[in-house]
Chains A and B, each alone.
Chain A
Amino acid sequence: MKLSKLGVVAIAAVIAVGIRAIYFTPFDSLQGAAQKILYVHAPSAWVAFLAFGLVAVASILYLWLRDPKLDRVAESSAEVGLVFTTVVLITGPLWAKPVWGAYWTWDARLTLTLFLWFIYAGYIILRGAIDDFDMRARFSAVLGILGAMLVPFIHLSVYFFRTLHPMPVLLKPSAPSMPREMVITLVSSFLAFTLLYVWLLRERYKLAVERDAASDAMEAHS
């Protein structure tokens, strides 16, 4: 596969941020090296929310305008978003083990991320279970919108759960305000991951266009 210009820039940016995070950003005085996973974890979480937000917007617009392009945007964004949510769910426990003492805690934000993963995994399975283009687009648009509406409810209910029923969890101590070098690394990691997302979204979108063109050609031929 030939890399587009955007792809080259996005990959270079992620590598540059990685190098900066590993070699040119100071260690956290309490957490040591473990804290460096922040520069992958936080931007991935940001991209996941961005991606699912775009799914919801594209879904609403699809039901209104019925433009197949919007359905392809939603499809692509959901898939890329699921990949980044998976990254969040893998890096989170890796970071939690040395710092909180356990891989998994039923912390409000953790639980929310897990359920985001479930919703959009269901979204992709739903898409795979329908052959008709029009029906697939309509059903997934409905699920894309409902999924976004569910997020505040899951957040509220798991928040209630934790605050009304406190568990023996080593919550993260409120970190001292970050030194400037860390802030710069973090902000650039957000930018780099956003670039990576935009690139992956574009590539996935192109794939959807080619697939639809191919199935149209097959239909015209038969």
Chain B
Amino acid sequence: MPPDTRAAISRPTPGFAASTLAIARKDMLIELRSRSVILSALAFAVLALTIFFFAWDPTAVAPIDLAPGVLWVIFTFSGLLGLHRSFGVEQPTRAMDALLAAPVSREAIYLGKLIANLGFVILVQAVSLPAVALLYNVPVGAYVLPLAGVVLLAAIGLVAVGTLFSAMAVSTRLAELLLPLLALPFFVPVILPAAQATARLMSGRAVSEVAGYIELLAAFDIVFLVTCTLAYPYTLEQ
């Protein structure tokens, strides 16, 4: 037995948190080196933004009234773009089998993928939010923190269900076609309060007015983070 193999065997199995982060790091590294999804998602976000601007009559609808809707449509669909890659990237070389053979718990695989997807979605949001603010002439400075909170809470909810459905969709015959079909109904209770809260914040209402929406988002996150983590092992061969 070569010495480095022996060293690998004698090394203690990483704990739950360590293996979760290792998987998240692996996915982020792959994305960082290939930059395939992030570039297409960002290009999509900016293109969609310009198309939406010209889809309405600017003399009838003020850009500030469009901005929240545009923002959330972009978040939803650019998120879907990235989510499919999450498990799709394991497909061509059947890397998933190796991941399952590794001494990591299945919940850690799900959470690792979730963290990587969350990083990806937040990056797209971090670019498209200022882009919308700039191009639609929406001053966001006064409420940027509560807005970031709403965006983050919504991102967690979207990614929690999206990661699970991505795992399921890649194994089916329809693959990427199935993901939006399964995920979009689940995005509704996230997008709706998030977009409404964004619109209220953008029109200068008090943060206390959107508290109900924030609570709803937080409740969704907690319920679906727990359920999807528990459900993920059932999507794998027993």
Query: What is A's interface to B at a CB cutoff of 8 Å?
Result: 63, 115, 118-119, 122, 125-126, 129-131, 135, 138-139, 141-143, 145-146, 149-150, 153-154, 156-158, 160-161, 164-165
Contacts and interface: CB of A to CB of B under 8 A. Distances in A.
B171 interface: yes
Contact of A160 (B182, B193, B220): B193
B172 A150 contact: no
Contacts of B178: 125-126, 129
Contacts of B110: none
A154 B188 contact: yes
Contact of B235 (A119, A139, A154): A139
B36 interface: no
Interface of B: 161, 164, 168, 171-174, 178, 181-182, 184-186, 188-189, 192-193, 196, 212-213, 216, 219-220, 223-224, 227-228, 231, 234-235, 237
Given A139-B235, A161-B192, 17 more contacts: A115-B188, A118-B184, A129-B178, A138-B234, A139-B172, A142-B164, A142-B231, A145-B231, A146-B164, A146-B227, A149-B224, A153-B219, A154-B185, A156-B216, A157-B192, A160-B196, A164-B196
9 contacts: A129-B173, A139-B168, A142-B234, A149-B227, A150-B185, A153-B189, A153-B220, A153-B223, A160-B196
Q: Which of B186, B212, B228 has the most CB of A within 10 A?
A: B186
A179 to B, nearest CB: 39
Given A142-B234, A150-B186, A157 B171 contact: no
Contacts of A119: 185
Contacts of A142: 164, 168, 231, 234-235
Contact of A146 (B181, B213, B231): B231
A141 B234 contact: yes
Contacts of A149: 223-224, 227
Contacts of A156: 189, 216
B175 to A, nearest CB: 9
Main SS of chain A's interface residues? helix
A63 B233 CA distance: 11
A125 B161 CA distance: 18
A146 B226 CA distance: 11
Contact of B189 (A126, A141, A150): A150
Contacts of B181: 122, 125
Given A63-B234, A153-B189, A160-B213, A126 B182 contact: yes
B234 A125 contact: no
B236 to A, nearest CB: 8
A158 B192 contact: yes
A138 B106 CA distance: 16
Q: Which of B212, B224, B227, B231 has the most CB of A within 10 A?
A: B231
B223 A122 contact: no
B83 to A, nearest CB: 15
B182 A143 contact: yes
Contacts of A146: 161, 164, 186, 224, 227-228, 231
A45 to B, nearest CB: 18
Contacts of A122: 181-182, 185
